[in-house]
Amino acid sequence: MTTLAFILHIGGGALALATGLVAALATKGGRLHRMAGTVFFVSMLVMATFALWLSVAVPGQMGNLFGGGFTAYLVATAWMTVRREERAVGAPERIALLVILCLCAPFAFLLFQVASGAAPQVRGPHLIATYSVAAVVALAAICDARVVLAGGISGAPRIARHLWRMCLALTAATGSAFTNGFARFLPGPYHVPPVFFLPLFAPLALLVFWMIRVRFTSWRGPDAVVVSALG
């Protein structure tokens, strides 16, 4: 079962990398974008689901419990954003808010330990990574709370919500592939060369590009996402 879980986890991640790149570069709302986005969504859920299973089944992998859960949350809420009607608020949005609040809890506890000096092992790059991920999780929680309290989302903010979550999920898949996957094939003890971190900047650059284009230009994104939702 563990071997099968590894195969499905790796296979889902590899397919997600390919289709995520296609979806990011394809014309938004077009047939290719919709098809690639659908495959990306499903393959990311497969990868995240088996990451959750492996984090429990394999000793020393409990850290992946959060990673798998957060990745599944990102793609699920990104997909839900364009599949549901504008200004729609119901059980899916409230469940998403509850999920992200639960994911915030371990970071709140860890940051409290860091501030009180009870976690001296969290320092240097690990401390920077902890603060960075905590900030992203907190941002996602704030965004979900605003959607629920405002009675939904529409227009450019709706498109931006879909795109930044998909791009961030693609970043997570890229990081997992290069720093946790490919790095294990290198000779000698497990290590991650600095060059293996460079691919992470590609989806992050796409994220920045789309945020600027959606929020600060007259790009006709609303029509594209409506076509995606109806298609």
Report CA 151 to chain centroid distance, whole Å: 24
As a whole number, mean pLDDT of residues 92-112 equals 90
- 181's enclosing H/E stretch is none
The first and second tokens of residue 63, run together, are 């850290």
What whole-number distance in Å separates Cα of residue 47 and Cα of residue 158? Answer: 26
The percentage of the chain sitting over the pLDDT mark of 90, rounded to a whole number, equals: 47
pLDDT at 155 over 60: yes
The per-residue pLDDT for 220 is 58
Please say if the pLDDT value at position 141 is more than 80: yes
Q: Quickly state the pLDDT bin for 126 (edges 50, 70, 90).
A: confident
Instruction: Please choose, from the candidates 20, 59, 42, the residue with its C-alpha nearest in 3D space to the C-alpha of residue 174.
Output: 20
Other Cβ atoms closer than 10 A to 96: 21
pLDDT at 91 over 70: yes
pTM as predicted: 0.87
DSSP annotation of 189: S
Averaged over 184-212, what is the pLDDT? Answer: 90
Span 129-153, average pLDDT = 92
pLDDT for position 149: 94
Over residues 210-221, the mean pLDDT reads 80
180-197: pLDDT as tens digits = 888 888 888 888 898 999
Q: Domain residues of the chain, as ranges?
A: 2-86+153-230
Residue 215 in this model has a pLDDT that exceeds 50: yes
Contact 13, 176 (CB under 8 A): yes
In this prediction, residue 223 carries a pLDDT of 47
Residue 28, pLDDT > 90, answer no
Spatial distance between the Cα atoms of 141 and 84, rounded to a whole number of angstroms: 19
